[in-house]
Chains A and B, each alone.
Chain A
Amino acid sequence: DQQVKQNSPSLSVQEGRISILNCDYTNSMFDYFLWYKKYPAEGPTFLISISSIKDKNEDGRFTVFLNKSAKHLSLHIVPSQPGDSAVYFCAASATGGGNKLTFGTGTQLKVEL
């Protein structure tokens, strides 16, 4: 049972436009969410996170939105740059779960010139 779902395996966006990556979760115990970015032949690197007490967190070009009632979060990248081309993983955790993260299947973002 996939508790964290990223239903779009890939996304293509033009440079300078907004990229929106989506993530849905089913476990209502999840209360902390993260986005990781992964380049080929490298490990994932942390991008941005959000606690369930917030509905938005911003860091430069990256903003994560959380809709708890819909069990949905999204990552917005504005403006998109070619260097943003990577696989993006959504991850979630629950209080009491330590640092154990449940990951989604990833979305391949391609930013075209």
Chain B
Amino acid sequence: NAGVTQTPKFQVLKTGQSMTLQCAQDMNHNSMYWYRQDPGMGLRLIYYSASEGTTDKGEVPNGYNVSRLNKREFSLRLESAAPSQTSVYFCASSEEDGFRYNSPLHFGNGTRLTVT
């Protein structure tokens, strides 16, 4: 059971470089999310996709773009990386409104990104 798979696991970027974080889920979930985790801040929602073909901003979307490539895949792009984007990034998926039916968010294992 793969669940939610994120690549890469680690990445170091220089300021101004770009990169795409990849996420794929094999649970046939409708909704997918990108969170970032910073010390003392908990997890904060960057972008989400309630269903294939839709994306919406979360709490901290600045500096990021997303693509819901198909039902399985949801990528996060940093066009010009900044040191403030140093963080651990988590992708998650769920049934639409799933947590109200005991199908809560399923997370990947994260991508640790450092921007120097």
Give residues in A with beta carbon < 8 Å to B: 2, 4, 6, 32, 34, 41-46, 49, 51, 89, 93, 98-101, 103-106
B42 is an interface residue with CB less than 8 A from chain A? yes
- Quick one: given A100-B45, A103-B42, A105-B40, are A34 and B109 in contact (CB under 8 Å)? no
For the complex of A and B, list the 6 residue pairs with the smallest distance between their C-beta atoms, beginning with the closest. A43-B107, A103-B42, A46-B104, A103-B43, A105-B42, A99-B94
A41, B109: Cβ atoms closer than 8 Å: yes
- Quick one: given A46-B104, A93-B99, A98-B31, are A106 and B109 in contact (CB under 8 Å)? no
B90, A43: Cβ atoms closer than 8 Å: yes
- Quick one: given A34-B99, A98-B97, are A44 and B43 in contact (CB under 8 Å)? yes
B98, A89: Cβ atoms closer than 8 Å: no
User: 17 other contacts beyond A99-B48, A99-B50, A103-B42, with CB at 8 A cut-off?
Assistant: A2-B42, A32-B100, A41-B109, A41-B110, A43-B92, A43-B108, A43-B110, A44-B43, A44-B90, A44-B107, A46-B105, A51-B100, A99-B105, A101-B43, A101-B105, A103-B35, A105-B40
- Bound-state CA distance A44–B108 (Å) is 8
- Quick one: given A32-B99, A44-B43, A105-B42, are A99 and B109 in contact (CB under 8 Å)? no
Range of interface residues on B (Cβ < 8 Å) = 20 to 34
B24 is an interface residue with CB less than 8 A from chain A? no
Number of cross-chain contacts by CB at 8 Å: 65
B109, A42: Cβ atoms closer than 8 Å: yes
Least Cβ distance of B7 to chain A in Å? 14
B96 is an interface residue with CB less than 8 A from chain A? yes
- Bound-state CA distance A10–B44 (Å) is 20
- Name the one of A99, A100, A104, A105 contacting B98, with C-beta atoms under 8 angstroms: A99
**Across-interface contacts of A51 in B (CB, < 8 A):** 100
Least Cβ distance of A37 to chain B in Å? 11
Least Cβ distance of B19 to chain A in Å? 20
- Name the one of A89, A93, A99 contacting B43, with C-beta atoms under 8 angstroms: A89
B61 is an interface residue with CB less than 8 A from chain A? no
B2 is an interface residue with CB less than 8 A from chain A? no
